[in-house]
Amino acid sequence: MKARLIIFLNWFVLLGSTLLVCAVLGIILVDIFSKGMSSVTWEFISQPPAKGMTQGGILPAIIGTLWLTLITTLFAVPFGVACAIYLNEYAFPSILTNVIRASIRNLAGVPSIIYGLFGLALFVQAFRLGTSVLSAGLTLGLLSLPYIITTTEEALKRIPNSMREATLALGATQFETIKDVVLPSALPGILTGVILTLSRAAGETAPILFTGVAFYINGLTSSVNQEFMALPYHIYMLSTQHQSIEQVRPLAYGTSVVLIAMVFLLNLTAFYIRFKNRTQQ
Amino acid sequence: MNASKREAIDRLLKMVFRATGLVTIGLLGGIFFMLLFNSIAFFAKGNPIDFFTGSQWNPGSDAGNYSILPLLASTGFVALGSMMIAVPLGIFTATFLSELAPDTLRTILKPVIEMLAAIPSVAIGFLGIVLVGPAIARVFGIQNGLNALNGSILLAIMALPTIITISEDAISAVPKTYKEASLALGANKWATLFQVTLPAALPGLIAAVMLGLGRALGETMTVLMATGNAAALPKGFLDSIRTITATIAIEMGEVPYQTTHYFALFAIAVVLFIITLLINLLGEFFANRLRKFHA
Amino acid sequence: MKYCFFCLAILLQSCIEQDKTIKIKGSDTEVNLAVELAESFHVMNPIVFVSISGGGSGLGIASLLNNTADIANSSRSINEEEITLFQQKGIQIDSFIFAQDAIAIVVAKDLPIDSISTNDLAAVLSGKYSTWKSLANKDLPVNIYGRQSNSGTHDFVKDKLSIEFSRNAKEMNGNAQILEAIRADHSGIGYVGAGYVSHGGSKALKILPVYTQENKDAVSPLDAQKIAAGKYFFQRPLFQYYKTSSYIKIKPFLDYEKGQAGQSIIHSAGYYPLRKL
């Protein structure tokens, strides 16, 4: 009897925890989507805010987030992938490369607000880019670099050395080996890492706080030295800073729906690439 | 293309890759030096002893009190609270996933957990205001639910995916032979799980907790939105608190560059940086021990 | 290769496009008003972009110093320290008062108190009274909801009453959060810009008229005539600071604010315009 009770308790605790974790996700999604979906109309995503932001849509914020993600991609992907290629393909394994790898891994754990400080000191002040979508994008790019480097390196490591040796033996130079053999086979892995990283960057708020995000801009961001609105900051602002918090709550919910949908879409793309790649192999 | 040209391209690109690699690493290394440089500027102007022993963070006052203690206590307090929720929940879930769940269930649940990790922190903070805050206020019969408990619950949600994923890897990495030996000696399934598998995975579990803690300590938006931001020493979980990250977020945009207050914010950022770094290194140390142990 | 061109194109574009955006920063009190002004300004002047950020008054002035803003909204005049900083950097600034604002002292609707003297208010906000016993004859704890130390409203109330705020005062991110908190708190007290309570914002709240030692006549922050006569204790001009060098760029916006259309927006937002409408 006692043994049974213990077994029951064990199951109860372990299964219960798992169900609770799933329930948390369920509650988050159900609450946001049930209260936010009604705000999400075509007008909501295609119109600028109106009447002191109590009405209208969030188009400038969507455009701002797209700008931001674009600049992040242009900066972080080439640098991150090149750095990973250097570490994995060119650099001789030594204590130094191990130290570098360890530092990069640890940089992935540095709080995002500290990247914001760095972006402020480096891009806004030292490079005189001012508070702009360029500064903020570069800051998010820095934040993304460690993730892109680690995931790319992992993808490169999975390519067996025999493939590299075969091409080299056929007379290809090292660059040709990387360009024609290693990178194409590692591409799905790299792409998954990149997309997941970008989805994380798109949802970040802390690093853009001091580097260029604006409460409101009466037009669409059209050049990189302008300030911008961004979806995550818009949620923050609508839920804490706005004059009539209760009146704009549906808008805050709606913005959350759009942001979460955008992030999930990116994640699903990454899962799909990973899944397809796995089934092919 | 002839061979010499191809080799020239090869050499050139090798240089390019090395240069980009080193620039990237230099940029990332620059973060640390920038923090250090700016906080040295603070300690040169301010009073380092007061910074660690004073009891007030009040840059607006005439004297300018810059003491990290209340902020540090708040940060530790709310992170500790989140770990009290997230550690048992995370480890139990990981155990269930790797040891008990059938394969089909596992393939469904793992993306669920990744989805949880993907939700932006600002959305979780928003729910802290509209959902968790009012709930706390009702349950405890207090007026306002923006307090440390709220922050801890939200941070626990944010740390859970990290803890679950790494713990699950650690538990699955325990060699099958351990379990088989234990079962062969007559131990039942549960005894094997709790007395063999989990202890063998312990370093990995500690690593998971450390990385989860690092995440909780460095989180900004959720605590900024949900904890009430009162810079006094926390006395209980129903008090409002203000963490280091929230302080930086609130005050950084609003100080003139190169003033004492500006440098003070870098100084608290350095403290935060060092704490998260130590915790991450500790996590890595345990993760490596697990790897060596099973090699 | 394509990538290089693209980057180059972006860089070029950023050089060519000299910023035609007017950046306005600071003062959570004024931010919503500024948004409404910018919205209607854009209709008349579609080429000129205006970007607005809130935060405290300190943020605006700091941004002006840091060269990241063109206009600094501020609900307080700049202080000595800031003046020296501007001088050190060699920046010439001008100011412009575009409206008057009053700070409302707000409590929950069911708290039995109808007006408050400045002395009592000072005692409450500095933490001398921990319960409402002596003021409202109720044994409820005093919960203070205020702004962060970088807020102009915070500084204004602090200086006007010459107190330091109680350390247990909750520091909210914005005026609206203060109202929301007091709405839910039977024994809360807080201070917000009158613009936040004038148009239905005072639902389930009570705005306390304030009287002073010298003048026992309690004045409400919603009394336009008394404000115009400068009779309310917590009233203040709303400033806009700007660099003399960028005057040409921001002139269209300033003109718009001073004009009939701008002033009527200021009025309907719950502030007190400078000219009679």
Residues B83 and B283 sit within 8 Å (Cβ to Cβ)? no
> In this predicted model, what pLDDT tens digit does every residue of B110-158 receive, in sequence order?
888 988 999 999 999 999 999 999 999 999 988 788 899 999 999 999 9
A167 pLDDT band, cuts 50/70/90, is: very high
Q: Considering only CA atoms, which of C224, C226, C161 is closest in space to residue C189?
A: C161
| Cβ under 8 Å to A: B residues 94-153 | 95-97, 100-101, 109, 111-116, 118-127, 129-131
Q: Do C21 and A243 touch (CB under 8 A)?
A: no
A215: nearest CB among C21, C53, C195: C53
pLDDT > 90: percent of chain C: 6
Cα gap B235→A95, rounded to integer Å: 47
Are both B16 and B114 inside the same structural domain?
Answer: no
Phi and psi angles of residue C172, each rounded to the nearest 5 degrees, phi first: -90, 160
Cα gap B116→A195, rounded to integer Å: 16
What is the domain extent for residue B244?
A: 57-294
Residues of A whose CB is below 8 A from C174: 240-242
B164 pLDDT band, cuts 50/70/90, is: very high
Task: With respect to residue B50, please indicate whether it lies within any of the assigned structural domains.
Answer: no
Residues C221 and C102 sit within 8 Å (Cβ to Cβ)? yes
Are both B143 and B260 inside the same structural domain?
Answer: yes
Contacts with A184 (C-beta within 8 Å, 6 or more apart), sequence order: none
β partners of residue C49: C21
pLDDT of C275 reads 59
Highest mean pLDDT among A22-31, B58-67, B135-144, C138-147: A22-31
pLDDT > 70: percent of chain B: 96
Task: With respect to residue B51, please indicate whether it lies within any of the assigned structural domains.
Answer: no
Statement: residue C2 has pLDDT above 70: no
- How confident is the model over C234-247, as a mean pLDDT? 88
Q: Do A241 and C38 touch (CB under 8 A)?
A: no
- How confident is the model over C101-106, as a mean pLDDT? 88
Statement: residue B165 has pLDDT above 90: yes
C181 touches chain B (CB under 8 A): yes
Cα gap B156→B86, rounded to integer Å: 5
pLDDT of B208 reads 94
Which has the minimum average pLDDT: B34-43, C126-135, C203-212, C219-228? C219-228
Residues of B whose CB is below 8 A from C164: 61
pTM as predicted: 0.86
Contacts with C47 (C-beta within 8 Å, 6 or more apart), sequence order: C20
pLDDT of C15 reads 47
ipTM: 0.91
C16 pLDDT band, cuts 50/70/90, is: very low
Cα gap A169→A167, rounded to integer Å: 5
Alpha-helical runs (H) found in chain A = 2-36, 42-46, 59-85, 95-107, 112-119, 133-157, 161-169, 174-177, 183-202, 231-240, 245-280
| Cβ under 8 Å to C: A residues 177-236 | 213-219, 223-228
Contacts with B295 (C-beta within 8 Å, 6 or more apart), sequence order: none
Task: With respect to residue B215, please indicate whether it lies within any of the assigned structural domains.
Answer: yes
Task: With respect to residue B262, please indicate whether it lies within any of the assigned structural domains.
Answer: yes
Q: Answer with the residue of higher pLDDT: B90 or C172.
A: B90
C150: nearest CB among B146, B225, B251: B251
Statement: residue A114 has pLDDT above 90: yes
pLDDT > 70: percent of chain A: 99
Are both B166 and B108 inside the same structural domain?
Answer: yes
Are both B7 and B139 inside the same structural domain?
Answer: no
Cα gap C55→C153, rounded to integer Å: 11
* Sign of the dihedral defined by the CA atoms of residues A128, C41, A238, A242, in that order: positive
**DSSP single-letter state for residue C195:** G
Report the gap between the CA of A251 and the closest CA in chain B (Å): 12
Q: Do B118 and A112 touch (CB under 8 A)?
A: no
User: Which subunits count as partners of chain B given 3+ CB pairs below 8 Å?
Assistant: A, C
Delimit the CATH 3.40.190.10 region(s) of chain C.
2-100+237-268, 102-228
- How confident is the model over B226-248, as a mean pLDDT? 87
Q: Domain A45-160+186-280's class?
A: mainly alpha
Q: Answer with the residue of higher pLDDT: B274 or C222.
A: B274
CATH topology of domain C102-228: D-Maltodextrin-Binding Protein; domain 2 (3.40.190)
Statement: residue A12 has pLDDT above 50: yes
Nearest-10 Cα torsion for A237, A239, A244, A249: 120
- SS3 of B95-119: HHHHHHCCHHHHHHHHHHHHHHHHC
Are both B77 and B30 inside the same structural domain?
Answer: no
Statement: residue A11 has pLDDT above 50: yes
**Structural domain spans, chain A:** 45-160+186-280
Are both B37 and B62 inside the same structural domain?
Answer: no
**DSSP single-letter state for residue A166:** H
Highest mean pLDDT among A210-219, A251-260, B47-56, B177-186: A251-260
Are both B276 and B207 inside the same structural domain?
Answer: yes
**Paired tokens of C79:** 């202080």
> In this predicted model, what pLDDT tens digit does every residue of B186-202 receive, in sequence order?
888 888 998 999 999 99
- How confident is the model over B267-279, as a mean pLDDT? 92
Statement: residue C11 has pLDDT above 70: no
CATH topology of domain C2-100+237-268: D-Maltodextrin-Binding Protein; domain 2 (3.40.190)
pLDDT of A220 reads 84
C19 pLDDT band, cuts 50/70/90, is: low
C-alpha angle A137-A143-A149 in degrees, rounded to nearest 5:
115
Cα gap A45→A24, rounded to integer Å: 28
> In this predicted model, what pLDDT tens digit does every residue of A54-100 receive, in sequence order?
888 899 999 999 999 999 999 999 999 999 998 898 888 888 888 88
Report the gap between the CA of C201 and the closest CA in chain A (Å): 7
C-alpha angle C221-C224-C225 in degrees, rounded to nearest 5:
120
Number of domains in chain B: 2
pLDDT of B240 reads 87
Pairing of strands C170-172, C143-147: parallel
A111 pLDDT band, cuts 50/70/90, is: very high
